[in-house]
Structures are given as C-alpha cells and as structure tokens.
Structure 1
Amino acid sequence: MTIPNVLTLIRILLTPVIVWLLLAGRLDCALLVFFIAGLTDGLDGLIARLFHQKTKLGAYLDPLADKLLLVSSFILLAYLNLVPIWLAVIIVSRDVIILLGMMTLLFHNVRVEIKPSIISKLTTLVQLMTVLAVLASSYVSGPRWAYLVLFFLTGLFSVASGMQYIVKGFQLLDAKRTNNQHVPLRDE
C-alpha cells in the first residue's frame, strides 16, 4: 500500500464524518474535516507523481474518493439550502453519467485507462473550492454575487467535463466497433 493510496483511503473515511457533521449542523467542524480531505486529494497526486508511486488501485480509488466526497457534500449542502439545488443536480448527474458510461464501456469490453483530463481536474478543484467557500461563509462571508459566480462556474465546469467524458466514451465505443467489424474478402 503506497502513501498516496493511504491518503486516498483517509479521504474516503473522512466522507461519512463530513456527512455526519453537516447533518448535525456543525459547519465549523465540517469545514476543518473537508479542508483536511481536500489536502489529501492534493497530496496523494503530488506524492504519486514526485515519488513514482502511481498505482492501478490509485487510478480507481482517487476519482472514487473525489466523487464520494463531493457528491455527498453537494447533496447535503443543497439539502441545507447552502447551495442551489440546480448545482447539486448538475454535479450528481455528471457523476452518475460518468459511472453509467464506465459500466457501458465495461459491458462492451472496452478497455478504459483512467486518466483525468485537465478540465476534469479543474472541475474537481472548482467543486472543492465551492464547498470550502460555502462552509467557510460562516467565518468569512463574501458578497452574494461572488457565490453566484462561483456556483455558475462550478456548474459550467461540471457540464463541460461531463460532455467531454460523454464524447470520449462514444469515441471509445466507436473505435471498438470499428476494430470488431467483419471485413469481407473480395471473394465473399
């Protein structure tokens, strides 16, 4: 077990703690735990790259940990009326579509290398920043328009990266179909 994988597992284990804290109305503690979880997200990738500790397990665990943390956070923040419901719907829908796409590709025996794109990484970063900003709003409150801009950017990045995954999924399926087509010989 590598250090990046341990950090990813810590992020997964922190997710139910954040859920519990949000449901208990402990936004201050949820902010601290979410910040720690966000740090593990940055550190695991940095350590994996710097010390050549990238693993196949980590390639699957890291996006799973991000999805668990962010989807549960946005659902609860929408439930608590701290983010707009439309934003939570976009984020949850994107991740459900990605999951269904992965399952579809696996069903069709399409090999998928999990390698997030730049826009996907930016989407995760913007989503993390949005949750942090909302949780920190009890300490440092910005103007309402700043939150609206952040919500809009988060939704925009989420939709753009979701569309990118959809396009890539169709390209992979099309490539698989093209490679598996029967090419008749001239005499047939």
Structure 2
Amino acid sequence: MNEQKKRTKDEKTRFSPVPTNRIWTIPNVISFLRIASIVLIAWLIWFSQPDHPDYLIWSLIVLSLSAASDGLDGYIARRFNQVTLLGQLLDPIADRMLIILTGIALCLANVIPWWMMLLIVARDATMLVLVLVLSDHHYGPLPVHFVGKTGTFMLMCAIPVLIISATLRSLNLYYAVHCFGLALYWWGIGLYWVAGVIYLMQGIRLLKADKVAKKAGIPLSREVGERA
C-alpha cells in the first residue's frame, strides 16, 4: 500500500512538478528571450512605416519564433521538472507585453485606432487595482476563467493578421484582411472586458465575504487560484 502511494505521489510530481525558487533554468531563459523578442517585434512594426515595409515581414518571423517558444518553455519545465515560481510569473507577463506593446506599435503604424488600445490598457489597469486590493486583504489571484482565455487567444490571433494586412496596403486584398483582423481584435477586446467584469464580481464577493467573516470572527481560506 505504501509503495502504491509512493508511486502515485511520484506520478503527480512528474506531471505537476512543485515550483521552485530557481531563476536560471532553461525554460526561464527561453521566457526571457521571448520577452526580449516582443520588444523587437514592437520595434519592427513601429519603424516599418513608411520607409521599411520589409520590417513587417521580419516582425512576423520573430513573432512565429516567439509563439513557438511559448509552448516549448512549458514543455521543458514539466518534462524535466524545472517548473519555477519565476517561470509562472514570466509567462503571463510575456502575454500582456505582447498584447500591449504590439498594440501600441500597431497604433503608431496606423494599423489600429488608439481607442482600441486604450480599452485594453484600461481593462488591465482595472485588473491590476483589483489584484492589489485583494492582495491587501491577503487573497491570492482569482481563478482563470475561460472567457478571459478566449479573449486573450483572439487578441493573439488578431496581431499577426493585422501585421499581414499592413504588408498588403498596396493591394485590393488589404481591406478584407484588415477588416478581418479588426473584427478579431474587437471581439478579443469585448471578451477581455467580459472576463474583467467576471473577475470584478468575484473580487467584490470575496471582499464582502471577508467583511462578514471578520465581523463573525470566522477564518477564511485565502488561496483562490490563478487569474489570466
């Protein structure tokens, strides 16, 4: 019986490794390189107009490599038991950087309007305030909601479509591709905000429960999960 329990525990550790405090692991180095590549992608988009349209092609190439590395670091971390607390932070940071920095670059390149980018920044700023308030009440991050994941996925899909559309400005195909990219971006923003409202409602419920529990002297569990 003890041997069976040990095997079960080993299997759980293999497929769900306990995160460590290590910094210089292969997955973390890949994540650092991914973050650096996002800055390069934004720079290539920004400086592509009007004199260097070929920069857009390079931005797509770097974006493809960056997207491939996103899955690679997670696989290596799980396969070789190199899951770290830093790595768990770097991945969502890289996702936010990709959305915000490339969004700003697309605005500067006149590919998308500024109000779209402002909606994204406003949502992330609202979520940051919520996380800080919950942290002040000793709550962990909120659990991931599929609406938030879907919104982020649609924004990620819209970025390469919009970059491709910018390379087609002299062709008739430009308007169709550009409108498709804007539609993806708009739906991504909409779902992004729907998820934000869901997180706000969850946070308000937790704060209300915390207030009631304090009055009644009832201890509450503070680990609520992860938010994305």
TM bucket, shorter chain: 0.7 to 0.9
> Which residues of structure 2 form unaligned runs of 5+?
1-23, 49-54, 218-228
Partner residue in 1 for 2:133: 104
Equivalent residue pairs, number: 183
Partner residue in 1 for 2:98: 69
Contact 1:4 1:44 in 2 (8 A): yes
- Rounded to whole Å, the distance in 2 between the matches of 1:11 and 1:57 is 14
1:90 aligns with 2:90: no
> Does the residue aligned with 1:58 lie in a helix, a strand or coil?
helix
> Which residues of structure 1 form unaligned runs of 5+?
184-188
Q: Aligned-pair RMSD on alpha carbons?
A: 2.6
1:158 counterpart (192, 195, 208):
192
Contact 1:60 1:114 in 2 (8 A): no
1:133 counterpart (139, 155, 161):
161
Deviations 1:55-84 (A, max 9, x none): 432332211111112111111212221012
Partner residue in 1 for 2:224: none
Contact 1:4 1:47 in 2 (8 A): yes
- Rounded to whole Å, the distance in 2 between the matches of 1:153 and 1:57 is 31
What's the CA shift for 1:159?
1.4
Partner residue in 2 for 1:8: 31
Partner residue in 2 for 1:186: none
Flag the 1:121–1:51 CA change in 2: closer, same or farther, 3 A. Answer: farther
What's the CA shift for 1:120?
1.9
Q: What amino acid is aligned across from residue 167 of structure 1 in structure 2?
A: M
What's the CA shift for 1:88?
1.0
Partner residue in 1 for 2:110: 81
Flag the 1:114–1:13 CA change in 2: closer, same or farther, 3 A. Answer: farther
Q: What amino acid is aligned across from residue 158 of structure 1 in structure 2?
A: Y
- Rounded to whole Å, the distance in 1 between the matches of 2:153 and 2:65 is 14
- Rounded to whole Å, the distance in 2 between the matches of 1:114 and 1:45 is 21
Q: TM-score, normalised by structure 2?
A: 0.68
Q: Percent identity?
A: 30
In our comparison, the structure showing a higher alpha carbon Rg is 2
Contact 1:59 1:115 in 2 (8 A): no
